[in-house]
Amino acid sequence: MRIIKPRLKILYPTLLWIWISLIFIFSSQTYHEQSIQPFLSEQLPIETATKIVPDVTIHYGDGTIPAKESPYAFLEFVFRKSSHLFMYAVLGLLFCITLYNWIHKLFSSILISVYMTGIIALLDEYNQYFNPDRTGRVQDVLLDLVGASLGIILYLSYNIYRARRSRP
């Protein structure tokens, strides 16, 4: 069993709570507070934006986003969904690190991490459901779980690498 320094037993849960708070701060904002389309339109000419996006149409929820006709909306959509993946990958990673440092059982840490990130994803989407111009979607919960799984796989990969490296 690995000995963990006492300060790290405080640091990891603190980072975890800060990250969870950030997720709920972002999900409490309105769509317009989070929109990057005004920034994109100032920084990226429409002609350039139209050239760089693929010729695809995304159907999501009740809406449709034709990339060539609405390049800023398409880029924002990709950014938002990538943000889901990133935020929840970090959350899954932080859960795994925190739990493993407390219970010292990797498999249990992974299972609890997936479960807890799923609960937080559900609460996050539930929170968005009550905000103006936002919707809570099951698809986003699934995307969040994919992100969490990526963070957990990263942690697992690191542990496997470290274990192999320490062998004689």
Rounded distance between C-alpha atoms, residue 65 and residue 63, angstroms: 7
Long-range own/partner contacts, residues 76-79 (CB < 8 A, 24 or more apart): 76/35, 76/36, 76/37, 76/40, 79/36
Cα separation of 15 and 23, whole Å? 12
What is the pLDDT, as a whole number, of residue 130?
Answer: 81
DSSP string, 108-144: HHHHHHHHHHHHHHHHHHHHHHTSTT----HHHHHHH
Q: What tokens does 127 get?
A: 């929170």
- Which residues in 126-153 are b (16+ Cβ under 10 Å) and which e? ebbeeeeebebeeebbebbbebbbbbbe
Residue 47 is predicted with a pLDDT of 94
pTM of the model: 0.89
Alpha-carbon distance 112 to 77, whole Å? 30
pLDDT at 1: 47
**pLDDT averages per 10-residue partition of the chain, 168 residues:** 68 95 91 91 94 93 90 94 96 95 90 96 90 83 96 93 80
Give pLDDT, residue 2: 56
